Amino acid sequence: MKDHLTDLLFNAVKQLTDELDQNQIVIERPKLIEHGDFSTNIALVLSKILKKTPRDIAQLILDKLPETTHFDKIEIAGAGFLNFFLSPFSHQAIINQVIEEKDNYGGNKKGKSRKVQIEFVSANPTGPLHVGHGRGAAIGDSIARLFEFSGWSVTREFYYNDAGAQIDNLMHSVKAHCLNIKPDHKDFPENGYRGSYIADIAKDYLAKTSIQCAGHKIQASGDINDEDSIRIFSIAYLRNEQDKDLEAFQTTFNVYTLESDLYKNHQVDFVVNTLIKEGHTYEKDGALWLRTTDFGDDKDRVMKKSDGDFTYFVPDVAYHLDKWTRGFIKVINEQGADHHSTISRVRAGLQGLNKNIPKDWPEYVLHQMITVMKNGAEVKISKRAGSYVTLKDLIDEVGCDATRYFLAARRADSQLIFDIDLAKSQSNDNPVYYIQYAHARIEGVLNQWKGDRNKLWIDTMPSFETQAEKKLIKRISEFPEVVILATDELAPHQITNFLKDCAADLHSYYNDSKFLVDDELTKITRLALIYATQCVIKNGLALLGITAPKKM
């Protein structure tokens, strides 16, 4: 419909001037129903070129537009906007289309089955997942669902930093507990983790428990001096915990990549050697440096420390080379904003490999930090201090659906305040229930009708008269465009906003009109409309990983 309108306008404008190409024609969806179903500002854009007032130009374009069955009315409004109002013929077509496509309505094939990889959460296995990881999970998983709905072949991936100094830290913390050295003791590792979960790990380790992790059984030796065993057991323990939390959050992954494997398979060595060979490195102060300034960084970075270890971003580069080698032309990394400095380093490292990797590859979505409030005070999240608001706590207290909604409903790049008490007290009138309620209400009506909803279809020209009906039809017709927008912008919150509006339109309609009326034609028409709405809400909620209940 939008494309059709663009064609019509382009052909009309061509008769006035040839100084305009097709992609300059912008079709918008007006906010107010009084402004129609579509509108264009083309006359305002042309006023400078044609040296006429926008309203005069709008009239000229209007005169050149051919007759069409799609629109009832086209009018000039405001400063010179052209507003288009859909005809009953179009209303019928839209509703029937939704009913026909059902679960697929709103999706598209723009991805053409191309591969996209989305990495998110990627928490270090040094503690339970907290609210910040939850935000990453909600946003990352929803982006993945959006890409699937847009016809991409999606791989969801989780990267474990299971090597490096923080893991040693973890091991020493657990070991201290095994030796009965508590966090407040002077011999407890200075940078150790002080959360109570460390004691749990130590207890299970001493009890020689076995843990299921990534399909393998990891058995604790119970030997206090066996640091490797403590390390492996601790990682397995925490990975297992994280997996359970993510499962409860309706989030799954296809691939888990371990940092330690990048060392084992010599991928890190390969990256370092290639960078040396390509002449992007130098030695200084006993360390090996990468000249990232060649690629836009403001400072060169150390790759290999004077003690022989690599800095964290070197395996990151190796990991991304691996992604590239696996054929992912499109890669999206969802991370916390505290990682923003790694972007330039990873990209610089990849450029230095001279493998024709695009400069802006991979793409990043960075979510800002969450401020957690509890009992009117800010909770500082610190793994080392052991203060926590875990994802599990949230799911238990607020519920999976509401938590996912809340965390996905805001732009990633705005800081947000999560008030635990407020979330709990409002759990009953949380916006997500408002949307789910609309879905359940429709289900109730359809059940009482007792007809076969799969045979719902409008085959005579419908007469939708009320504002409520027109608004609702316009809304559901916008869904495919919202999906495209949300996917292009990597912004799931567009879906939550849309659903809230869609539910509001439905509730208004519900209070405005009765559906199960005596007149058969009116009844079928109205039921078809709300059934179509139910499909849209269901599909939208699915993009957010939120359930669509039939009863509430």
Partner RNA sequence: CUGCCCGUAGCUCAAUCGGAUAGAGCACCAGCCUUCUAAGCUGGGGGUUACAGGUUCGAUUCCUGUCGGGCAGGCCA
Select from 339, 424, 453, 538 the one that contacts RNA (CB under 7 A).
Answer: 339
330 DSSP 8-state letter? E
Two tokens at 167? 């893991």
Q: Which is nearer to RNA, 163 or 220 (CB)?
A: 163
- Of residues 209 through 268, those in contact with RNA by CB under 7 A are none
Q: Which of residues 67-96 bind RNA (CB under 7 A)?
A: 77-79, 81, 83
Q: Is the CB of 44 or the CB of 543 nearer to RNA?
A: 44
CA–CA gap between residue 377 and residue 341 (Å, rounded): 30
Pick from 5, 25, 41, 91: which binds RNA (CB under 7 A)? 41
Amino acid found at 255? V
Of the two residues 34 and 228, which places its CB atom closer to RNA in the complex?
Answer: 34
Is residue 150 within the footprint of RNA (CB under 7 A)?
no
Distance CA 41, CA 43 (A): 6
Q: Considering the rule CB under 7 A, would residue 280 count as an interface residue with RNA?
A: no
Does residue number 307 form part of the binding site for RNA (CB under 7 A)?
yes
- Is residue 475 at the binding interface for RNA, with CB under 7 A as the rule? no
Among 279, 296, 444, 451, binds RNA (CB under 7 A): 444
Angle at 85 between CA 81 and CA 86, to 5 degrees: 145
Of 177 and 475, which has the nearer Cβ to RNA? 475
The piece of 61-69, 132-140, 234-242, 435-443 that touches RNA (CB under 7 A) is 435-443
Residue ranges of E strands in 93-132: 115-119
Say which DSSP state 155 is in.
Answer: E
62: region left, alpha or beta (phi > 0 left; psi from -120 to 50 alpha):
alpha
Closest CB to RNA among residues 27, 118:
27
Q: What are the backbone dihedrals phi and psi of residue 437, each rounded to the nearest 5 degrees, phi first?
A: -65, -40
| Residue of 10, 20, 30, 64 that binds RNA (CB under 7 A) | 30
Which residues from 500-529 bind RNA, rule CB under 7 A?
500, 504, 507-508, 510-516
Q: Dig out the tokens for 111 from the structure.
A: 């991805």
Q: How far is the CB of 381 from RNA (least distance, A)?
A: 10
Which candidate, 174, 496, 155, 501, places its Cα nearest to that of 332?
155
Of 1, 54, 158, 475, the one binding RNA by CB under 7 A: 54
Q: Which stretch binds RNA (CB under 7 A): 137-145, 232-240, 307-315, 388-396?
A: 307-315
Contact range with RNA by CB under 7 A, out of 8-16, 28-36, 106-114, 181-189: 28-36
CA quadruple 62, 65, 68, 71: dihedral sign: negative
Among 51, 186, 217, 299, binds RNA (CB under 7 A): 299
Query: Which 385-414 residues touch RNA, going by CB under 7 A?
Result: 409-411, 413-414
Nearer to RNA, 206 or 485 (CB): 485
7 binds RNA (CB under 7 A): no
Pick one of 59, 485, 542, 547: the residue that binds RNA (CB under 7 A).
485
Strands (E), 71-167: 71-77, 81-86, 115-119, 153-160
CA distance 9 to 25: 8
Q: Tell me if residue 303 falls in helix, strand or coil.
A: strand
Sign of the alpha-carbon torsion through 253, 256, 257, 260: positive
Return the range that interacts with RNA (CB under 7 A); candidates 92-100, 127-135, 222-230, 301-309.
301-309
Nearer to RNA, 69 or 341 (CB): 341
Check if the beta carbon of residue 291 is closer than 8 Å to that of residue 282.
yes
Tell me: does residue 32 bind RNA (CB under 7 A).
yes
> Cβ closer to RNA: 81 or 149?
81
Alpha carbons 40 and 5: distance in angstroms, whole number: 10
What is the total count of residues that contact RNA (CB under 7 A)? 89
Q: How far is the CB of 221 from RNA (least distance, A)?
A: 26
Judged by CB under 7 A, the residue of 8, 12, 45, 220 near RNA is 45
Are the C-beta atoms of residues 230 and 174 closer than 8 Å to each other?
yes
Cβ nearer to RNA, comparing 209 with 344? 344
Q: Which is nearer to RNA, 41 or 525 (CB)?
A: 41
CB 132 within 8 A of CB 473: no
To RNA, the closest distance from the beta carbon of 361 in angstroms equals: 17
Residue 49 makes contact with RNA by CB under 7 A: no
- Our CB check for RNA shows the closer of 3 and 207 to be 3
Nearest CA-CA partner of 37 in 104, 80, 79, 91: 91
Shortest separation between residue 81's beta carbon and RNA, angstroms: 3
Residue 115 interacting with RNA (CB under 7 A)? no
**Rg of the chain in Å (alpha carbons):** 28
CA-to-CA separations, 402 to 276, 357, 388, 399, 544, in angstroms, rounded: 50, 40, 20, 6, 11
Burial classification of residue 113, based on how many CB atoms lie within 10 Å of its CB (0-12 exposed, 13-18 middle, 19 or more buried): exposed
DSSP per residue, 15-56 = TT-SS--GGG--EE--SSGGG-SEEE-HHHHHHHHHTS-HHH
Report how far residue 330's alpha carbon sits from residue 347's, in angstroms, rounded to the nearest whole number.
Answer: 14
- Indicate the residue among 45 and 116 with the shorter CB distance to RNA: 45
CB closer to RNA, 110 vs 550: 550
CB of 202 to RNA, least distance (A): 22
| DSSP output for 365-386 | EEEPPEEEEETTEEE--BTTTT
Q: Does 358 bind RNA (CB under 7 A)?
A: no
Closest to RNA by CB, 178 or 433: 433
3-state class of 27 per DSSP? strand
The answer to whether residue 135 forms part of the interface with RNA (CB under 7 A) is no
* Helix, strand counts (H, E) of the chain: 19, 17
Token pair belonging to 62: 């209007």
Out of 184, 298, 459, 520, which residue is the one contacting RNA (CB under 7 A)?
Answer: 298
Q: Which stretch binds RNA (CB under 7 A): 65-73, 90-98, 220-228, 424-432?
A: 424-432
